[in-house]
Amino acid sequence: QVQLVESGGGLVQAGGSLRLSCAASRSIFGINAMGWYRQAPGKQRELVAAFVRGGSANYADSVKGRFTISRDNAKNTLYLQMNSLKPEDTAIYYCNAGVGVVDIWGQGTQVTVSS
């Protein structure tokens, strides 16, 4: 079963940028459903951005125009480029892959945006 490891989180000032990476333990070629979710303290986990069947990407309204999801199948890696970060983007960011009927999650990476 594929394992996912996120990296790239950290502390950044409002208006700054970060790029998150999600490295998979095996090829992600053929895994159509991959995406990023986040969970802020006291809130439910929510979708940030995800690739869906057909290769198109969906984004949460709150991040449209600021975040970009991408993938490099040759490197077995999913990315999330985050620009114009806001304090409300502070959360733990999780990588997700849908493999058959199984949802696989990484351990998460903390993103903190200071005002």
- Per-residue pLDDT reduced to its tens digit, 59-105: 999 999 999 999 999 999 999 999 999 999 999 999 999 988 899 99
Asked if 48 and 9 touch (Cβ cutoff 8 Å), the reply is: no
Taking 90 as the threshold, does the pLDDT of residue 27 lie above it?
Answer: no
Residue of 102 and 14 predicted with greater confidence: 14
| Rounded Cα gap, residues 27 and 114, in angstroms | 36
Distance of alpha carbon 24 from its chain centroid, rounded? 13
Query: Which residue reads 């979708």 in tokens?
Result: 47
* DSSP for residue 44: -
What value does the mean pLDDT take over residues 25-50? 93
pLDDT band for position 52 (cuts 50, 70, 90): confident
Confidence (pLDDT) at 103: 92
